[in-house]
Structure 1
Amino acid sequence: MSLRHVFAAALLAASIASPALAANAGFMVLHEPRPNAPPVEVGVWYPTDAAPSFMALGGWGHTVAAGAPVTGDHLPLIVMSHGNGGFFGGHADTAQALAEAGFVVAALTHPGDNYKDQSRATAMADRPAALSALIGWMLDASPLKARIDPDKVGAFGFSSGGFTVLAAAGGEPDIGKVPSHCKVHPDNYDCKLTANHPIPADILTAKWAHDARIKAVVSAAPALGFTFGKDGLKGIKAPVQLWKASDDEVLPGDDYAEFVHRNLARPHDYRVVQGARHFDFLTPCTNTKGVEILCASAPGFDRVAFHREFNTVVTRFFTDQLVAPVKSPTGQ
């Protein structure tokens, strides 16, 4: 085969094996209905050709075309789970990057564990159940349902959200391990949180919601990694990309991301970010007023530069895992 045909075949394979690139990211806020409960707030990013503009979002911001038409069909879906006390917009720049690469991204504000409501802050089994319900709603009832490929679903989570996506993808945590952990590490954030918000009794016996529709997982600085024990990660069949901040002051030591890394038997992509603190996985701040603790990186650590790399790596991982490789026309 000539070089010209090799080049043409490579271009064809690359064009099919990657989501269609859009010029920009569209954005809308939707409300997922729930029976006998208030609706769930959901931020949705998606590919569009409409012109964007900067939009503030809490202490963060993103450059999006609000309410613009969706570009493309059979689009892969990424669901996002934020950390304790967060909201749907904590990873807006990552969501924007994914949308510009051809993904639909749906990030929920977790009921009972967000910046306005901490009434279920330690009811960890609520979280994967809510994430699975979001997948179902996005595929079956949301305004974007006709544009999404139901066979191409990934999950991204940070901190408590990092725990959430591991559990939703098949992990079986044992929350009963928390008290003994906290006797040894009373000053860790998770232990202070459970001291102020005791774990509800129903969570200790709750069944964990697993969702086989999740085909790829990115977990950044996962909380409560130790609760999975040595056998609790065996049920995860999806490819995993796992991130750790080397200087994590919120979840320090080897009981969190490092524990998952050591006990996740299947091959996975493990990345330790040197010089990063816990909240460096959040979108770089445009307004630090009232969220100073979330915006303070260590001296010399460039969160903006890190996010350029982080977003590229995360997007590449989801692209590789959710868009099936295609053989060249010659079958090679």
Structure 2
Amino acid sequence: MNQNQATVNAVDPTRTQASLGKKVLKWTGVLTIVVLVLGGILIATLFWTALRTEQPVGFQVVRAVDAAGKPFALGIWYPTSAQPSAKWAGNFLMYVADNGSVKGNNLPLVVMSHGTGGSITSHADLALALASAGNVVAAPMHLDNFQDMSSVGTPAYISGRTRQLRSTIDHMLTKWKDAKQIDAERIGAFGFSIGGFTVLTATGAKPNLESIAQYCANSREFACDMLRQSNSFLLKAELPAGSDNFEQDTRIKAIVVAAPGLGFSFSGSNALTTISTPVQLWQGDKDESVPYATNAKVIQDGLGTKVDFQLVPNAGHYSFLTPCGPLKMPPICSDPAQFDRAVFHKTMNKRVIAFFAEHMKK
């Protein structure tokens, strides 16, 4: 080989590209294997951490309508004898029998009201536990949900939620295909955050909406910041007529409220005196979004001996949401240090079930 040929071979671009191509293929293969392995681990972890129940639970999502004819989604959990399987529920899996038949008769009904930006499955583990214990659970998708927050701070966010909860009960007792299997004399309600406000007003509480503007003028509380961002009518000098029209639903026999939002609006002397239903009230002592002193404490003091108060050490605001599993989406999966949400929920769910069972006896 002469010198010119050696020089050509030393810089032959074809050979260089071929060598580079082999390296790319090699690393592509390695990365593909890594991705497949990690994906497999994630899928296995999701199935391992999926929400399960002691007794089989059925689940379905139906379309309901409010009093104005506006449709909304409604998630329903209930006892069943059908075989459950894994179903995707946002950022976790739950074992349910999709559209399985309903097992039992004269079943109690518990309606659930999620918090701002929440969804049907915000409290799926509690819904599953209640259904496993023999209850029908119905959770409406309120107009302020994770997909659409446009109603925040509007009348639909205040009295509209309460009316939607009533429409949920109406649907379950008259339009649901298994309505005859529900005991209309045993109805309870659970509410979280603004859902707690919803449940309280549904059972007779009378908030002073006019006090909100004055309170928020001197407060950086999360609820006030949210109302400011939405330019809410609640911060105006005068409120629209009828904005405080909360119609009590006497069909509700017991309520459970967790980390109630806008609790400071119940500070009036007569705000809670009309509530005759038993109330279980939950609050995390590390809740910075909805502080105890200006929310749950106001309700606790107003209800007096009528409330079963549960203060949860080291719990934050989002600690009452369904345990997240491996896909931890901030901020809803964030808890204070040293707090185990999954362990806490086992205790909370049992106490909630026992509370409803005691106060919704046949």
The TM tier, using the shorter chain, reads: 0.7 to 0.9
Partner of 1:103: 135
User: Do the aligned residues in 1 keep the contact of 2:191 with 2:258 (CA within 8 Å)?
Assistant: yes
Partner of 1:293: 331
Alpha-carbon distance, 1:43 to partner: 0.4
1:1-332 map, 5 Å: 23-34=55-66, 37-111=69-143, 113-122=144-153, 123=155, 124-186=158-220, 188-200=221-233, 201-202=239-240, 205-229=243-267, 230-288=269-327, 291-324=329-362
CA–CA distance in structure 2, aligned partners of residues 204 and 285 of structure 1: 39
User: Do the aligned residues in 2 keep the contact of 1:32 with 1:39 (CA within 8 Å)?
Assistant: yes
CA–CA distance in structure 1, aligned partners of residues 224 and 246 of structure 2: 21
Alpha-carbon distance, 1:280 to partner: 0.5
Alpha-carbon distance, 1:62 to partner: 2.2
User: Do the aligned residues in 2 keep the contact of 1:167 with 1:208 (CA within 8 Å)?
Assistant: yes
Q: 1:277 to 1:207 in 2, by over 3 A?
A: same
Give aligned pairs, total: 301
2:109 partner amino acid: L
CA–CA distance in structure 1, aligned partners of residues 67 and 199 of structure 2: 23
Alpha-carbon distance, 1:22 to partner: 8.0
Alpha-carbon distance, 1:286 to partner: 2.6
2:300 partner amino acid: H
Alpha-carbon distance, 1:253 to partner: 4.1
CA–CA distance in structure 1, aligned partners of residues 92 and 192 of structure 2: 16
User: Do the aligned residues in 2 keep the contact of 1:226 with 1:259 (CA within 8 Å)?
Assistant: yes
Larger fraction in helix:
2
Gaps of 5+ in 2: 1-52, 234-238
CA–CA distance in structure 2, aligned partners of residues 136 and 232 of structure 1: 26
Partner of 1:6: none
TM-score, scaled to structure 1: 0.86
Q: Which has the higher contact order (CA 8 A, sep 6+)?
A: 1
2:245 partner amino acid: K
CA–CA distance in structure 2, aligned partners of residues 77 and 22 of structure 1: 19
1:114 partner amino acid: N
SS of 1:121's equivalent? coil
Q: Is the radius of gyration larger for structure 1 or structure 2?
A: 2
TM-score, scaled to structure 2: 0.80
Partner of 1:13: none
SS of 2:306's equivalent? coil
Q: Which moved more, 1:241-250 or 1:51-60?
A: 51-60
User: Do the aligned residues in 2 keep the contact of 1:60 with 1:285 (CA within 8 Å)?
Assistant: yes
CA–CA distance in structure 1, aligned partners of residues 241 and 166 of structure 2: 17
Question: What percentage of residue pairs aligned between the two structures are identical?
Answer: 38
Alpha-carbon distance, 1:85 to partner: 1.2
